[in-house]
Structure 1
Amino acid sequence: MQILIIEDENPAAARLKRLIEPHFPGAQIHGNLDTVKSSMDWLRTNPAPDLIFCDIQLADGISFEIFKEIPVSSPVIFTTAFDQYAIQAFKVNSVDYLLKPLDPEAVEQAINKFKSTRSQTELDLSQIQALLAPPPKAYKSRFLVKFGEKIQSIPVEDVAFFFSESKVTYLQTHGGKRFILDSTMEQTEGMVDPKLFFRLNRKFLATITSISDIITYSNSRLKVILTNCQNQDILISRDKVADFKDWLDQ
């Protein structure tokens, strides 16, 4: 039985070794390897181990880099400090995950799982990374506005731009209607998809479809003309010009 430990914290590696030794009498335990580079070098020059215990965060990077470069068919049990919900999600896969600090009972359960299957597992790296990634942010699809005694829901597709005036934030539709919002411009900016809206300056947050003209201006700035907008002096600062052009070119 050949076991490899990939772990950049010596105390954690020593504890892991103590926890797994009773379950594999006579096993040869290699490591610990503490970097992506040393792990790849070892895997390239040694037969595939029967089992790998692998930390996600290593001294020189993320351990997933190892499996991107080297096909690994050995079963892998990851050790990680990611939250418990992610850990539970991973357990639907054939590879197991342990939350740090390591719990002896959890280690035993993972080992028992390995022993019961004893099958080689090809890592689905894209699925693991998708689970580790933060969930995509949910942006607003509509804004609830009030005018007089009435309440109306404005779909985000109908919004031309937002603007601030006298510390009040307004929503303006493509048809030119204006509504007062309860949120600040900073809060509103965080509610909308940055692929659809760009913060032109401190006072304006606009969609590309609301822009009727873009004019070069003094000091490497840009002047933007918005449809149905009374303010015709909307300037984009020199510092924001590159980001604005990138946004236009998506």
Structure 2
Amino acid sequence: MNVLIVEDEELSAERLRNLIAGIDPSVRVLAIIPSVLETIAYLQNESNTRPDLIFLDIHLEDDNGFRIIESLDLMIPIIFTTAFDKYMQKAFKAHSIDYLLKPINPLDLQASLLKFKKLHALQQEKADHDTSPASLLSEKYKDRFLATAGPRIFTFKTSEIAYFVIEERATFLRLFDGRHFAVEYSLERLSQLLDPADFFRVNRTLLISVNAIRDIHMISAGKLKLDLNPATSQEVFVSSERITDFKNWLGR
């Protein structure tokens, strides 16, 4: 496993490197980088080995660590390492595995690495299944999703999901019971993974289940407004270029 440490405090970075080595000597630390700009440059350089996991401090010498995620639309799993607990909610919207407060407790770090390995193994197993000849021939669509919240890992049946929505550059699934969780997919990828008979992308930020539609309002000849269950934070309109396809989808 290859990891990247993004940390501007030299002592903290070396302590983290040593803790990782003590927990799992097979983990390879690719680099220790102290700034946002250097991290972006490293990740954009295709000749560099891509990390499987990033340990990311939030307050860096030149900017906020979230800037890396926003600039690259980063989808690499992250374990945040910081002295501040006020960013915890934002961190869990940013594809994070865990949030460790400094000074890092070795047992907490060990639990975080184990959590990442379990998630990685499950995702690899699913990817292998999805690309197997039998899977490709059967054109089986995704029927389960993984999500994390704090130290817990959740799985959901696709039938439990009302819609997927983009919020603050991250993708979230919302269940029919109202709960929501960050997921690791773009809406484009989800459109490929989900059965098109059940899910439709109504606009740039929303992919909905047919069962989530509570009401449809004809605003004008070229504009539709949807009421969904559970309700969204903003009004939902079907993009004008998708209206014909949307009506065909509803009537299939």
Give the TM-score band, short-chain normalised: 0.3 to 0.5
Structure exhibiting the larger radius of gyration computed from Cα positions: 1
